[in-house]
Amino acid sequence: MIDFYKSLVEIVGEGHVSNQAEELYFYARDSGLMPIHKPPDYVVAPKTTQEVQKIVELANEKKIPLVPMGGGMSLAGLINPLKGGIVIDMKRMRNILGVNEKARYVIVEGGVSQGALGAYLERNYPNLRHSAVEAPPATTIASSVVIHGQGRLTQQYGFTSDMVSGLEVVLPTGEICRIGSCAMSPDWFSKGPTLPDLSGLFLGWLGTTGIITKVGLKLYPKKKIRDVEMFVTDKADLIPDILFNLTHTEMVEDILIGSQSGIHFDPPMFKGYHYVTLYITGDTDDELEFKRKMVWDSLKEFRENKDGGFMWVLPMIKPGLLEAPQKWITRTLADDKKGGGFTYSGPIVLIEKYPLFAKRLEEVGDKHKLDYAGLARVIGRGHAMMFGFGFPFNRVDSDLMDRVRKALHELIVFAFNQGGIPWKPNIEEQKMAMERMDPNTLKIMMMIKKNLDPNGIMNPGNWEVE
Amino acid sequence: MEYEEIVHRCFRCGFCKFTENYQDFNCPSYLKFGLDTYAAGGRMWLINAWLKKEIKTSRHYAEILYSCVTCGNCKEHCVFTFKEDLLNIFEAAKAELVNTGLIPPSVRDYLNAITKIGNPYKIVQNKRGKWAEGSGIQIFSDQEYLFYVGDVGSCEERGEKMARFVGTLLAEAGLSIGIMGNKERSDGNDVKVLGENGLFLKLAEDNIRNFRENGVKKIITLDPHAFNAFTKEYPKLGGNFEVWHYTQILSTLMKDKKISLSEYKVKVTYHDPCYLGRHNNVYNAPREILKCIPGLELVEMNRNKKNAFCCGGGGGNFFTDILGAGEESPGRIRIRDALDTGAEILAVACPICSKMLDDAVKSEGLEEKIKVQDIAEIVNAARRNPTQHLVESV
């Protein structure tokens, strides 16, 4: 395979390709709890679409698997090669290619990070924003859209993949393909409509149908002022109504619901409470206060019945809540056990299921003697929610890691049984989803995959029927 | 290995790779190669794997560890409580390699040269003070300050010029300074970060003894790396001196109007050396000097102060060159940062940065657009009566 290595070096240059034990070790795993399968044989870091294309052509020729990688922070093992091959680390492709201010979209290369886009907009287009995610800043825009990510604007505008306004994709057979208005126009304002929406061939496929090398992403108005409110209740049963009322106002930017056992606090002072964190924005104090009043009024009945109330957000914690991403989440969860470990599974479910999910998380957490965090986010105007079952762990505590794995398995089975669908599904969840899926739906999926990737080289093992 | 109990706590979340506002990756070795193994999180996971014997000691493992320029960006931006120990962990891991002898050849050569000859340039000791000839700067006897110039200031052409500019400015401003000349020894800062603790200990103890025997109480350093060693490491060994970087002293002299200046219309941007800025929080003094010069316009690069991007010369890389050349080498990236400001001069306050960035200007073919100058050189150019022999020597 010396020739193959040399071929990769010819494509991306010395230093940006490796078949050394160190890279093969690192790129065989992510920070989550998914098992290691077959480490990659090579790791490459291309700089251009043309380099990606050449790598794909080479991989096709030799029938070597390809695993595209962005920030690698799904925690679901989606970048862990299942059948070896080449991991393509996309983060050297980090040019922001342009913004259409009036049409509110940006075009970025496939390795542009969430953090870099946020900083770029802040500096150059302070009246525009994208739906920044809660994951660490190295998470790429392309990986967010490919896993149907969620961010600060998800309650208003849906999944990050709903915000795509165009794609450039290197197909599994090596062709460079444009999707959306950019397929026939210099403008990247629509991912599909009024044409057949081909973006669905790539969004949600976890890199099994092509490698995204450019993304057009919708931007949204950025208000000058942003504030946070926190409504607390110990009655999980009321959360669906609380969320219904809040979303009815159409005044809220983002809505997160948190519950937890005793993470970071001893005694567990937050256990049994549900914290609805909601964000409001405005260009003026008047606008902000009007929205605040609407929000407070929408929960009047709960306040008057003493079912819950708005808590004073301490000045010392407010900046952390307003950050994007919120560093304290990573710091608190991943270092709670002093072991660099945190993982979660976040099925998408109906909001009315919140009480059941919160209860089940508590039961399973207690059963396995685990600290837990429930992290939920409203999607659309209450059309669904992501309910994350989160657990910190310690990488040197194998017993704890086993208990976390068992708890997650029980919870995801519960979520499926409650009519939920998996978000960024790991290999186990994909299998469970395909088992439950309408056979004809699965048939279409496999047909699409087979036709786009005849050699089966794209992230093989994922969305795959054994 | 020291710090073994911490290493597994890294989540490899990647905050450490960025500036504070995430505008770009800010880890030089990561930017050079584009592989996560070359960032702090990658090193942490590899060191952990090495401790667990999941990977072996190898040439590549050593290269990854030694490609760290110890710029401290990771320590600045890591979100975890153990961030203060990040560089210590990398140093400890390198020390393990030194103990086994499995270090990159260029690191070995650097350490050998220091051990055998006393400096990495293999220049005989009696030529060490040659840079000061004709400058009027005296050998230290009973002056108030020792002016310590370090290896680069003593042995490398650009560093020597910088030493002359600084030394002459300080002396002509009326400061009582002297130099060790042939008695000066390597400060050992880079020896330590390369993991050779035994050699560092010897260098530090020799220097402390030498300083004491000569009655040194106050030291002005040319090199931020020496400043770091003298302020942070030497006191642990009983070497307690009053230590200043030359920009701190010069800014006071400028504010006290000890140096008379003419108008100097020029647009300047300033590059924070990692061992002056992030490692020791000296951000203002160099800027205050520049702001004292009438007509000079100081503009900032996007990445500045605690978010400054390293020139690539720290962590011994100036000597060992593990990072190598190329378009994505840190020096060239930094020069492009400077060019974006529209500045005509990139001001530096470190002889290593000076050389790294000057080479980068040449590699980028930007000699006509921007030049790299030490702060003292800029001050000299703005003086009413610039020191003639210094002007001619540039």
- Residues of chain B positioned with their CB less than 8 A from the CB of A20: 58, 60
Which of B12, B15, B49 is facing A25, going by the closest CB pair? Answer: B49
Same domain, B227 and B283: no
Same domain, B88 and B49: yes
**A448/A458 Cα distance (integer angstroms):** 13
Which of B33, B46, B81 is facing A335, going by the closest CB pair? Answer: B81
User: What is chain A's mean pLDDT, rounded?
Assistant: 96
**CB atoms < 10 A from the CB of B12, how many?**
23
Percent of chain A with pLDDT over 90: 95
* Smallest CA–CA distance from A23 into chain B, residue: B37
State the total domains in chain B: 3
* Smallest CA–CA distance from B9 into chain A, residue: A340
For residue A173, name the pLDDT band (cuts at 50, 70, 90): very high
- Cβ distance of A122 and B34 shorter than 8 Å: no
Q: Give the end of a domain, one of B196, B226, B250.
A: B250
Q: Give the CATH number of the domain where residue B137 resides.
A: 3.40.50
Question: Which of A22, A88, A93 to probe by mutation at the B interface, max B CB count within 10 Å?
Answer: A22
Same domain, B188 and B275: no
Which of B8, B13, B18 is facing A330, going by the closest CB pair? Answer: B13
CA distance A395 to chain B (A): 7
Q: Does A326 contact chain B (CB < 8 Å)? A: no
- Residues of chain B positioned with their CB less than 8 A from the CB of A91: 25, 34
User: What is chain B's mean pLDDT, rounded?
Assistant: 95
Same domain, B268 and B385: yes
| Whether A91 contacts A108, CB under 8 Å | no
User: At B191, which helix (H) or strand (E)?
Assistant: helix B189-193
Nearest Cα neighbor of A236 from A271, A265, A280, A278 is: A271
What order do you get walking across the sheet with B177-179 strand by strand? B138-139, B177-179, B145-148, B218-221, B242-245
Establish if B113 belongs to a structural domain: no
Q: Give the end of a domain, one of B250, B279, B312.
A: B250
Segments of A197-290 assigned E as strands: 211-218, 220-221, 225-233, 254-260, 274-282
Lowest mean pLDDT among A266-275, A306-315, B384-393: B384-393
**B219/A13 Cα distance (integer angstroms):** 46
- Cβ distance of B11 and A342 shorter than 8 Å: yes
Summary count for chain A: helices (H), strands (E): 15, 19
Q: Does A338 contact chain B (CB < 8 Å)? A: yes
Q: Report H helices in A264-397.
A: 285-298, 300-304, 318-322, 327-334, 354-367
Q: At what angle do helices B157-172 and B351-364 cross, to 10 degrees?
A: 130
pLDDT score, position A1 = 66
Q: Does B34 contact chain A (CB < 8 Å)? A: yes
Establish if B58 belongs to a structural domain: yes
Distance linking the first and last C-alpha atoms of chain A: 28
Task: Fold for A2-91, please state it.
Answer: 3.30.43
Which of B24, B35, B326 is facing A23, going by the closest CB pair? Answer: B35
Does the pLDDT at position A244 exceed 80?
A: yes
Does the pLDDT at position B2 exceed 70?
A: yes
**DSSP letter (8 states) at residue B171:** H
Residue range B245-264, pLDDT digits in tens: 999 999 999 999 999 999 99
DSSP state string for B193-260: HTT-HHHHHHHHHHHHHHHHHTT--EEEESSHHHHHIIIIIGGGGT---EEEEHHHHHHHHHHTT-S-
Residue range B42-56, pLDDT digits in tens: 999 999 999 999 999
User: At A107, which helix (H) or strand (E)?
Assistant: strand A105-109
Interface of A with B in 407-436 (CB under 8 A): none
| Whether B40 contacts B86, CB under 8 Å | yes
pLDDT score, position B388 = 53
Establish if B82 belongs to a structural domain: yes
Measured CA to CA in angstroms, residue A283 lies from A221, A291, A315 at distances of 10, 11, 21
- Cβ distance of A138 and B42 shorter than 8 Å: no
**B361/B353 Cα distance (integer angstroms):** 12
Average of pLDDT values for A398-424? 97
Which of B13, B23, B36 is facing A116, going by the closest CB pair? Answer: B23
For residue B392, name the pLDDT band (cuts at 50, 70, 90): very low
pLDDT score, position A264 = 66
pLDDT score, position A268 = 66
Computed on alpha carbons and rounded to an integer, the radius of gyration of chain A in Å comes to 22
pLDDT score, position A465 = 87
Same domain, B233 and B144: yes
Same domain, B156 and B274: no
Q: Does A264 contact chain B (CB < 8 Å)? A: no
| Whether B122 contacts B94, CB under 8 Å | no
Average of pLDDT values for A117-124? 98
- Residues of chain B positioned with their CB less than 8 A from the CB of A343: none
Which of A45, A119, A334 is facing B13, going by the closest CB pair? Answer: A334
* Smallest CA–CA distance from B29 into chain A, residue: A15
In CATH terms, the superfamily for domain A225-417 is FAD-linked oxidases, C-terminal domain (3.40.462.10)
Does the pLDDT at position A265 exceed 70?
A: no
Q: Does B393 contact chain A (CB < 8 Å)? A: no
Q: Give the CATH number of the domain where residue B338 resides.
A: 3.40.50.10700
User: At B389, which helix (H) or strand (E)?
Assistant: helix B388-393
Same domain, B46 and B72: yes
- Residues of chain B positioned with their CB less than 8 A from the CB of A21: 55-56, 58, 60-61
CA distance B224 to chain A (A): 30
3-state secondary structure of A140: strand
Same domain, B47 and B70: yes
User: At B288, which helix (H) or strand (E)?
Assistant: helix B284-291
- Residues of chain A positioned with their CB less than 8 A from the CB of B19: 119
* Smallest CA–CA distance from A21 into chain B, residue: B55
- Cβ distance of A119 and B36 shorter than 8 Å: no
Does the pLDDT at position A84 exceed 60?
A: yes
User: At B150, which helix (H) or strand (E)?
Assistant: helix B150-155
- Residues of chain A positioned with their CB less than 8 A from the CB of B35: 16, 18, 23, 43, 45, 89
Q: Does B21 contact chain A (CB < 8 Å)? A: yes
Nearest Cα neighbor of A390 from A30, A32, A114, A29 is: A32
- Residues of chain A positioned with their CB less than 8 A from the CB of B56: 21
How many contacts (CB atoms, under 8 Å) link A and B? Answer: 117
Same domain, B246 and B265: no
Establish if B115 belongs to a structural domain: no
Residue B304 burial (C-beta neighbours within 10 Å; 0-12, 13-18, 19+) = buried
Establish if B110 belongs to a structural domain: no
Which of A21, A116, A395 is facing B58, going by the closest CB pair? Answer: A21
Segments forming the whole domain that contains residue B298: 260-393
pLDDT score, position B390 = 54
Residue range B65-106, pLDDT digits in tens: 999 999 999 999 999 999 999 999 999 999 999 999 999 999
CA distance A125 to chain B (A): 14
A92-221 maps to CATH 3.30.465.10: yes
For residue B126, name the pLDDT band (cuts at 50, 70, 90): confident
Q: Who has greater pLDDT, B199 or A263?
A: B199
Same domain, B130 and B242: yes
Establish if B327 belongs to a structural domain: yes
- Cβ distance of B13 and A138 shorter than 8 Å: yes
Does the pLDDT at position B386 exceed 80?
A: no
pLDDT score, position B393 = 45
**Fold agreement (A2-91, A92-221):** no
Strand B345-348 and strand B371-374: the pairing is parallel
Which of A31, A92, A137 is facing B15, going by the closest CB pair? Answer: A137
Same domain, B282 and B385: yes
Same domain, B94 and B195: no
For residue A287, name the pLDDT band (cuts at 50, 70, 90): very high
**A354/B139 Cα distance (integer angstroms):** 78
User: At B355, which helix (H) or strand (E)?
Assistant: helix B351-364
- Residues of chain B positioned with their CB less than 8 A from the CB of A119: 19, 21-24
Average of pLDDT values for A283-291? 98
* Smallest CA–CA distance from B323 into chain A, residue: A15
Does the pLDDT at position B25 exceed 50?
A: yes
Summary count for chain B: helices (H), strands (E): 19, 9
Residue range A418-439, pLDDT digits in tens: 999 999 999 999 999 999 999 9
Question: Which of A26, A55, A80 to probe by mutation at the B interface, max B CB count within 10 Å?
Answer: A26
**A349/A259 Cα distance (integer angstroms):** 17
| Type of residue numbered A321 | L
Q: Sketch the domain layout of chain A as residue ranges.
A: 2-91, 92-221, 225-417
**A101/A218 Cα distance (integer angstroms):** 10
| Whether A203 contacts A146, CB under 8 Å | yes
CA distance B296 to chain A (A): 26
- Cβ distance of A27 and B36 shorter than 8 Å: yes
Establish if B135 belongs to a structural domain: yes
**DSSP letter (8 states) at residue B394:** -
3-state secondary structure of B41: helix
Q: What is the ipTM of this complex?
A: 0.96
pLDDT score, position A270 = 78
Does the pLDDT at position A215 exceed 60?
A: yes
- Cβ distance of A327 and B79 shorter than 8 Å: yes
Does the pLDDT at position B394 exceed 50?
A: no
Q: Does A89 contact chain B (CB < 8 Å)? A: yes
Label residues B325-352 b or e (16+ Cβ within 10 Å = b).
Answer: eeebbbbbbbbebbbebebbbbbbbbbb
Which tokens in the block code for residue B116? Answer: 């055998």
| Whether A177 contacts A399, CB under 8 Å | no
pLDDT score, position B124 = 86
Interface of B with A in 324-363 (CB under 8 A): 324, 326
| Whether B128 contacts B46, CB under 8 Å | no
